[in-house]
């Protein structure tokens, strides 16, 4: 069974990241890296993590630029053998299609999955409407942009647990849905305004769950996953 949990390496410290990979590689399906590691160490961090045991790397840089610049970014990232990468769906159809076309130059076993971000989990309806000027509800905005992404050839989308069900209903069974904002209960929040539980997300149709420092700092990864209900009900992490 494919492991559903992606561990977010939320650190700029290379030694800490490598240690987390060695500790967790048997328990998770992939490792997510973002600006903290890549700005500090460059994309050369990727082969180092792979050598430490990271079979799959999820590069979360959320590309958002003119089509040619994004295509170049996808090309360079794909050279490092990343499994999945993100871009902002609000970049528009030309940008999305340029990213997809660039990825298709790589052989099928080397081609990265490209998933789109529509509304960040740190945003709520007030910010979306009154600060960003978007008249739609969060759900309407996410469905509209996500459908644009899938129609443009993307492999999937990113969302919070609160939107998994509605996106699955509107996108169908095939697209990948990566879920962030995973918490032990429905009341446990931080800088993310929209969050939910692991079991809720999986039941609603999430393909993968992103979890960060809860796993990185856990002395016992199996116990940490069990606290989210992942092992106790037979769901493989």
Residue 113: strand, helix, or coil: strand
Residue 237 lies in a domain: no
Residue 71 lies in a domain: yes
**Residues forming the active site:** 62
pLDDT band at residue 27, thresholds of 50, 70 and 90?
A: very high
Residue 83 lies in a domain: yes
The CATH number for 153's domain is 3.20.20.70
The answer to whether the CB of 31 falls within 8 A of the CB of 57 is: yes
The number of folded domains in the chain is 1
Domain that holds residue 53: 5-226
With residue 196 as reference, give the H or E element that holds it.
Answer: strand 196-197
With residue 140 as reference, give the H or E element that holds it.
Answer: helix 138-151
Distances (CA, A) of 112 to 76, 172, 218, 220, 223: 11, 21, 29, 31, 31
pTM: 0.93
Residue 231 lies in a domain: no
* Span 89-147, pLDDT tens digits: 999 999 999 999 999 999 999 999 999 999 998 899 999 999 999 999 999 999 999 99
- What pLDDT, on a 0 to 100 scale, did the predictor assign at position 235? 57
Residue 49 lies in a domain: yes
Residue 207 lies in a domain: yes
Residue 236 lies in a domain: no
* Span 41-68, pLDDT tens digits: 999 999 999 999 999 999 999 999 999 9
Q: How far is Cα 1 from Cα 140, in angstroms, rounded to an integer? A: 33
């Amino acid at each position: 069974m494919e492991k559903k949990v992606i561990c977010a390496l939320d650190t700029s410290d290379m030694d800490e990241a490598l240690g987390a990979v060695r500790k967790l590689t048997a328990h998770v399906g992939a490792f997510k890296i973002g600006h903290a590691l890549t700005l500090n160490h460059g994309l050369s961090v990727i082969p180092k993590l792979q050598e430490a045991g990271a079979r799959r790397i999820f590069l979360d840089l959320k590309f958002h630029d003119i089509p040619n610049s994004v295509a170049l970014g996808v090309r360079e990232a794909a050279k490092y053998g990343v499994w999945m990468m993100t871009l902002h769906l609000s970049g528009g159809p030309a940008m999305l299609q340029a990213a997809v076309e660039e990825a298709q130059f790589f052989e099928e076993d080397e081609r990265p999955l490209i998933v789109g971000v529509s509304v960040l989990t740190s945003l709520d309806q007030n910010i979306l409407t009154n600060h960003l000027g978007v008249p739609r509800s969060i759900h309407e905005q996410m469905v509209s942009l996500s459908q644009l992404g899938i129609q443009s050839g993307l492999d999937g989308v990113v969302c919070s647990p609160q939107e998994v069900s509605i996106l699955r209903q509107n996108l169908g069974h095939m697209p990948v849905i990566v879920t962030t904002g995973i918490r032990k209960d429905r009341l446990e929040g931080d800088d993310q305004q929209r969050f939910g539980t692991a079991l809720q997300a999986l039941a609603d149709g999430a393909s993968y769950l992103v979890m960060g420092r809860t796993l990185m700092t856990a002395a016992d990864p199996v116990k940490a996953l069990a606290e989210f209900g992942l092992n106790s009900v037979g769901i493989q992490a």
